[in-house]
C-alpha cells in the first residue's frame, strides 16, 4: 500500500517509472543496447541519486547561516558524501557582508620588542585589493574564535601567523612581542564602535618555541589563564 492511501488517495508507484520507460524508447543510442525495462530502472536509480544530491547541496547551503537540530543530524549523516566529495561549505561568504562580520571592520596588529607603544597592522586595512579577500576570510575565522572565546584555537592560529611573519622578516628585524585582534569602527553612521577582542604577549623559551599569554582585565583577581604551559 502506498503512503498516500491513508490520506484518502492512492498513488500507483508504477506511473513514476512508466513515463521514464516511454521516454527511454525514444533514445536512439540506448534502444539497441538496453531493453526499456532495464533503461527505466537505470533512470529511476539516477533520478534518486540526482534528488539526493540536489537535496544535499540545498541542505549544506541552507545551514550556512542558521540550522536546526534535524538539519545538523542530516549533515552529520551525509558527511561522508558532502565532505568527502567537497560539497560541504562552511562559513561561505555568499552574502558578501554579514551582521557578525563586516569586511574591513577587524584588524590584527603586532607590536615589536623595540617599539612597545606602537601597533603595526598586519591583516586588515593594510591588505592590498588582490590579497584582501583571503585575509578577510582569515580575519573572519579569528573574529569567530574570539567571539566564541576559543582562546586555545586563537593560540593555534595566531602561532601559525606569528611563525609566518617571523620566518619571512629580515634577519635583523626586531622580534614580535605582542599581538592584538581588534574590532575597528567600519562606519560611524551605523553605530560601530572599537573594541579589543584579544591581546596577548609572546612568551619565548630558550628552545626557540613561544607561547601566548593573554592580557587579562585589570579588575581580575583570580589566577591568570595559562596558555601552552606558560604562567604569566
Strand partners, 196: 182
Q: How far is the CB of 10 from other proteins (least distance, A)?
A: 8
78: part of which helix (H) or strand (E)?
helix 69-82
Q: How far is the CB of 195 from other proteins (least distance, A)?
A: 18
Q: How far is the CB of 223 from other proteins (least distance, A)?
A: 25
Number of helical (H) and strand (E) elements in the chain, helices listed first: 6, 5
The contacts found for 93-99 with CB under 8 angstroms, 24 or more apart, are: 93/136, 93/137, 93/140, 94/61, 94/64, 95/65, 98/65
185 binds other proteins (CB under 8 A): no
Q: Is-contact 197 182, C-beta < 8 A? A: yes
Q: How far is the CB of 32 from other proteins (least distance, A)?
A: 13
Residues 28-87 that bind other proteins (CB under 8 A): 28-30, 43, 46-47, 50, 53-54, 57-58, 61-62, 64-66, 76, 79-80, 82-87
9 binds other proteins (CB under 8 A): yes
38, 45, 48, 91: which one binds other proteins (CB under 8 A): 91
- Establish how many alpha carbons lie within 13 A of residue 39's alpha carbon, considering only the half-sphere containing its beta carbon: 19
Contact string 146-165 vs other proteins (x = CB under 8 A): -------x--xx-xxx-xx-
121 binds other proteins (CB under 8 A): no
Rounded CA separation 166/110 (Å): 11
Number of residues in contact with other proteins, rule: CB under 8 A? 77
Amino acid at each position: 500500500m502506498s503512503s498516500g492511501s491513508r490520506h484518502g488517495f492512492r498513488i500507483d508507484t508504477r506511473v513514476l517509472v512508466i513515463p521514464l520507460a516511454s521516454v527511454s524508447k525514444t533514445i536512439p543510442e540506448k534502444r539497441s543496447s538496453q531493453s526499456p525495462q532495464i533503461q527505466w530502472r537505470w533512470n529511476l536509480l539516477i533520478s534518486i541519486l540526482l534528488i539526493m544530491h540536489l537535496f544535499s547541496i540545498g541542505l549544506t547551503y541552507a545551514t550556512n547561516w542558521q540550522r536546526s537540530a534535524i538539519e545538523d543530524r542530516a549533515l552529520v549523516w551525509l558527511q561522508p558524501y558532502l565532505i568527502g566529495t567537497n560539497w560541504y561549505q562552511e562559513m561561505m561568504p555568499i552574502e558578501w557582508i554579514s551582521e557578525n562580520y563586516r569586511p574591513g571592520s577587524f584588524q590584527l596588529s603586532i607590536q615589536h620588542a623595540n617599539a612597545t607603544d606602537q601597533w603595526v597592522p598586519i591583516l586588515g586595512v593594510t591588505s592590498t585589493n588582490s590579497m584582501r579577500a583571503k585575509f578577510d576570510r582569515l580575519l573572519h575565522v579569528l573574529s569567530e574564535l574570539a567571539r566564541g572565546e576559543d582562546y586555545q584555537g586563537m593560540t593555534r592560529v595566531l602561532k601559525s601567523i606569528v611563525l609566518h611573519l617571523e620566518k619571512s622578516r629580515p634577519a635583523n628585524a626586531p622580534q614580535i612581542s605582542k599581538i592584538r585582534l581588534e574590532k575597528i569602527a567600519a562606519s560611524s553612521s551605523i553605530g560601530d564602535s572599537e573594541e579589543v577582542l584579544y591581546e596577548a604577549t609572546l612568551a619565548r623559551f630558550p628552545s626557540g618555541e613561544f607561547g601566548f599569554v593573554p592580557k587579562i582585565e585589570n579588575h581580575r583577581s583570580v589566577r591568570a589563564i595559562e596558555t601552552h604551559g606558560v604562567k604569566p
